[in-house]
Amino acid sequence: MTIDTLNQLMLISAVVLLVAMGAVRLSSRTGLPSLLIYLGIGVAIGQDGFGLDFEDPELTQVLGYAALVVILAEGGLGTKWRDIRPAMPVAAALATVGVGVSVGVVACAAHYLIGLEWLTALIVGAVVSSTDAAAVFSVLRKVPLPQRLTGALEAESGFNDAPVVILVVALSGFEEDPHSWYVLIGMILLQLAIGLTAGVLTGRLGAYALRRVALPASGLYPIAVMALCVLAYAGGAVAQGSGFLSVYVCALILGNSKLPHRPAVRGFADGLAWLAQIGLFVLLGLLVTPHELLDDAWPALVIGLALTLVARPLSVVMSVLPFRTPWQDQVLLSWAGLRGAVPIVLATIPMVAQVRDSERIFNIVFVLVVVFTLVQGPTLPWLAGKLRLAESVGPQDVDIESAPLERLHGHLLSVSIPERSRMHGVEVGELRLPHGAAVTLVVRNGDSFVPLPTTILRRGDELLVVATDAVLDSTEQRLLAVGRGGKLAGWLGTDGDTEIRS
């Protein structure tokens, strides 16, 4: 690596990032999933395009793991515990029982319809059985679905990567180190338990420390949060547990804890996740050889149809048997099992392990992801409307950013009132903040003024609220409650508690 090479690499990277960000705009207008555009960019500059030769599945796997850590961390930080808590039993069933059913059905289809050997068929089934966190998070946040469905799908996509990665790694090394099925299940359960423990410990200890340590600059808080998420992944993995489960659980706890500068943390994580997604999809597009895909296009379509029309619906039905789930919910859960970067990254594991037909596995998975994401992603809003599951957008939470005033034993809260907040039209006095907290300044249309108790708050306002250490938590809960329920919050049962409780 020379300076000239570095300059060229930075030039290409900057151009690719700018083109990819422009593609996000195109994606939002057309409904085309952005991941397909990123894959297309990688293919365009690859061997059959501009001629950039890249054939390093091991490097792709390593960078893919790193990107998935960032994507899962952002997903956990942006997921609200109150939304997914009621759906956790369904999500847990989908991430375990559902994965097992999906692997079995797809493996049978690959063996009997395509003629793949059983081990290869099982690897294909395991690789494509995981829904993709990036695809699910990006699509669901644009589709106004009931919280029970959004919560189940987000939690499933965050949790099911862990058992699938363990399964794919075990199957890829099966010829050299065979295990009985019960030993494999025991290994999966043990690694999940270790990963869960590492994630909970890192998240809770990190949240405790960040709430009580005043860092000298606000920009250090987002870095500290992301460092904790990476620590959770690495700690879980080094302890022979599931690092992916660990990072998601840690991020979920941190994202729902009352941390300073939460909007800045979420913004920083969101930017890193976009960078990780763009880099990952472009890299995967570079790795594929387009002219070799035609030979595996028909098997990919057959396996994709078996996955989409048989395996996923059957896995949903089997997973929700203990629950009273309406058939409309089951149909939407079946169609919303989006695949994306995760299956393609997992397809590099057998390539690195030099499993027989590993290149064919990669090509099949690549075609399957492209075709069925192109079909499922844009049609999901239409299906939600036909099933009458699309909801009108409800009230939006106010954004609260907390800056500790260590020497004054207090906190300065910056509160932004978004468009759909029910705090609009509420008088300052009607906030009924606890003693020890007060609204000291309102910024409206660029002008600042000290409010009176009768000052009416408007959407777009920014408030500066000073609170002592003793009432910080109750002040934040009250502001969130009024944002959701208006001036009658509390009497109507609306509260602002978003923290994960043990």
- Give Cα separations from 180 to 171, 177, 185, 246, 255 (angstroms): 11, 10, 9, 26, 39
Domain boundary among 354, 386, 418: 386
The residues, ordered by sequence, that sit 6+ positions from 383 with a Cβ below 8 Å of its Cβ are 331, 332, 335
pTM above 0.85, yes or no: no
| Owner of token pair 């880099």 | 279
pLDDT digits (tens, 9 = 90+) for 309-361: 999 999 999 999 888 888 998 998 999 888 877 888 888 899 888 888 888 89
Q: Which residues of 133-145 are buried (b: 16+ CB within 10 A; e: fewer)?
A: bbbbbbbbeebeb
Decide: helix, strand or coil at residue 403: strand
Domain boundary among 357, 386, 415: 386
CA 165 to chain centre: 16
DSSP letter at 296?
G
Could you list the residue range(s) of the whole structural domain that residue 42 is in?
Answer: 3-386
CATH number at residue 457: 3.30.70.1450
Question: Beta strand 437-444 with 447-449: parallel, antiparallel or unpaired?
Answer: antiparallel
Report the distance separating Cα 199 and Cα 251, nearest Å.
8
Instruction: Please answer whether residues 101 and 311 qualify as being in contact, where contact means their C-beta atoms are separated by less than 8 angstroms.
Output: yes
Asked whether residue 95 is assigned to any structural domain, the reply reads yes
**What is the pLDDT at residue 157?**
82
User: What is the DSSP track for 469-497?
Assistant: GGGHHHHHHHHHHHHHHGGGTTTSS----
Report the distance separating Cα 76 and Cα 303, nearest Å.
31
Q: Which residues pair with 412 in a beta bridge?
A: 403, 466
Do 459 and 348 belong together in one domain? no
CA 108 to chain centre: 30
DSSP letter at 295?
G
Asked whether residue 349 is assigned to any structural domain, the reply reads yes
The residues, ordered by sequence, that sit 6+ positions from 235 with a Cβ below 8 Å of its Cβ are 198, 202, 246
Asked whether residue 52 is assigned to any structural domain, the reply reads yes
Do 125 and 197 belong together in one domain? yes
**What is the pLDDT at residue 499?**
46
Asked whether residue 496 is assigned to any structural domain, the reply reads no
Backbone φ and ψ of 405, nearest 5°: -110, 80
Asked whether residue 494 is assigned to any structural domain, the reply reads no
Do 378 and 465 belong together in one domain? no
Do 31 and 101 belong together in one domain? yes
**What is the pLDDT at residue 20?**
79
**What is the pLDDT at residue 502?**
37
Asked whether residue 126 is assigned to any structural domain, the reply reads yes
Report the distance separating Cα 238 and Cα 197, nearest Å.
13
Question: Beta strand 410-416 with 399-405: parallel, antiparallel or unpaired?
Answer: antiparallel
pLDDT digits (tens, 9 = 90+) for 213-251: 777 777 788 999 999 999 999 999 999 888 889 999 999
Domain count, the chain: 2
Instruction: Please answer whether residues 436 and 468 qualify as being in contact, where contact means their C-beta atoms are separated by less than 8 angstroms.
Output: yes
Q: Which residues pair with 404 in a beta bridge?
A: 411
Do 440 and 345 belong together in one domain? no
Do 204 and 337 belong together in one domain? yes
Do 454 and 335 belong together in one domain? no
C-alpha angle 401-421-456 in degrees, rounded to nearest 5: 90
Do 257 and 299 belong together in one domain? yes
CATH number at residue 203: 1.20.1530.20
Spans of the chain below 50 pLDDT:
393, 497-502
Do 251 and 311 belong together in one domain? yes
Asked whether residue 499 is assigned to any structural domain, the reply reads no
Give the residue from 469, 496, 471, 498 showing the smallest Cα distance to 485. 496
Asked whether residue 328 is assigned to any structural domain, the reply reads yes
Residue 83 burial (C-beta neighbours within 10 Å; 0-12, 13-18, 19+): middle
Do 64 and 130 belong together in one domain? yes
Instruction: Please answer whether residues 130 and 161 qualify as being in contact, where contact means their C-beta atoms are separated by less than 8 angstroms.
Output: yes
| Owner of token pair 């992916």 | 244
Do 348 and 408 belong together in one domain? no
Sign of the alpha-carbon dihedral angle for 347, 351, 356, 360: positive
Number of H-type helices and E-type strands within the chain: 21, 5
Instruction: Please answer whether residues 481 and 496 qualify as being in contact, where contact means their C-beta atoms are separated by less than 8 angstroms.
Output: yes
C-alpha angle 77-81-85 in degrees, rounded to nearest 5: 140
Do 370 and 469 belong together in one domain? no
